[in-house]
Structure 1
């Protein structure tokens, strides 16, 4: 039987419409999205890794005239992105094997990266580096400490994992990123733990 981690892609595909509805369109993340934008180099393109249905975060960037590329493993969620924003670049792909052959001024993995196992998260840092241009901003959410947690969505187990903060710092530094800001369980952002870094 597949592990909870191995069922994530199928879960989001089975419940794509329910996820889109539950996600809503309010942007409690807006203060951190503004910080992300402030950290971007001039005239950047943005890669959203685990973009979901493109709302509300993708829309936030599009309405501010950023060139946006979105990647998600769910064909149904990418289908919603293409319906809503057909002029943007959308890909059905697993971020763990992503190789777009392009570099971006901004990389974001909001509420997606933390669905990967600890080992898969470690393996993502070369992918971040490979897709990051000069002085690119990288922002992702994690847990506050090392471990795994199982939530639920639509009656199914929803897997989350995190490394220790010290390991994230070491991985970022080892792949050419410097930490710009970090907040654990930010009470002004729904209890999210956020990392914002910039490539050197």
Structure 2
């Protein structure tokens, strides 16, 4: 998502409003627009996310910005991804159609496993990246029985409710190999917001930075970087951490 303004995956939404008067900024969600589209008659809930993306997948893929403005952070993720086996393994949660992020990681020699709860996105991923692994599953409560050298929730994790985001840190840890990198995007502070994807409203939520820090520590991660509204990444708010375990 971006603040220029663009939404979750680099598209240009009509705008968004802030809920609960929260002082929260998500890249791509304008503080000025759209309350007319999100009121008591048209509530957008976290559970609406997967049906929405399933419905708009082809249009989303067509509009997705492929300039790879995320390159700096993808390279930083790679830099912190350890080699525990023959190839570095990346778990991409909420992978969408796989372009441009999963495709870039594959080009850099990483072994990518994508996970997306929208079946239409999974089909696009298969078409775009036939060499990559893909799983049609909800990231909430996910247990693949595998470890990965990097886990990523780029512009997907923040579509979950606050409660579900808290529970995701156990999912991150469950899939983290020794010293695995973790990267995800969030809002700048606690609250909810509504953006748009392919002209349809989509829900976002964020915790406060300190709560994210506490959750990282509680689940065996050490913070490596936190950059709110990175001007070099279209105003994304980005977290990077390393799994060190609890022992």
Higher helix share: 1
Q: Alignment partner for residue 4 of structure 1, among 45, 68, 73?
A: 45
- Residue 79 of structure 2: aligned partner: 38
- Runs (4 or more) in structure 1 with deviation over 4 Å come to none
- In 1, the alpha carbon distance for the partners of 2:198 and 2:91 equals 28
Higher strand share: 1
Deviates more, 1:84-93 or 1:105-114: 84-93
Secondary structure of 1:80 counterpart:
helix
- Residue 132 of structure 1: aligned partner: 176
Aligned pair count reads 200
- Residue 168 of structure 1: aligned partner: 212
- In 1, the alpha carbon distance for the partners of 2:183 and 2:175 equals 13
Give 1:2 shift: 7.5
Deviations 1:32-72 (A, max 9, x none): 11111111112420000000000000000111121110000
Q: Alignment partner for residue 15 of structure 1, among 52, 56, 67?
A: 56
- In 1, the alpha carbon distance for the partners of 2:165 and 2:144 equals 19
Going from structure 1 to structure 2, the CA distance change for 1:2 and 1:148 (only over 3 Å counts) comes to: closer
Secondary structure of 2:68 counterpart:
coil
Secondary structure of 2:98 counterpart:
coil
Q: Alignment partner for residue 91 of structure 1, among 104, 127, 135?
A: 135
What does residue range 1-200 of structure 1 map to in structure 2 within 5 Å? 3-42=44-83, 43-200=87-244
Relative contact order, higher structure (CA 8 A, sep 6+): 2
- In 2, the alpha carbon distance for the partners of 1:133 and 1:59 equals 22
Q: Is the 8 A contact 2:117 2:138 kept in 1?
A: yes
Deviations 1:9-48 (A, max 9, x none): 0110000011111213110010011111111112420000
Q: TM-score, normalised by structure 2?
A: 0.79
Question: Is there any run of 5+ residues in structure 1 with no aligned partner, and where?
Answer: none
Give 1:153 shift: 2.4
RMSD: 1.2
Question: Is there any run of 5+ residues in structure 2 with no aligned partner, and where?
Answer: 1-41
Q: Is the 8 A contact 1:4 1:157 kept in 2?
A: no
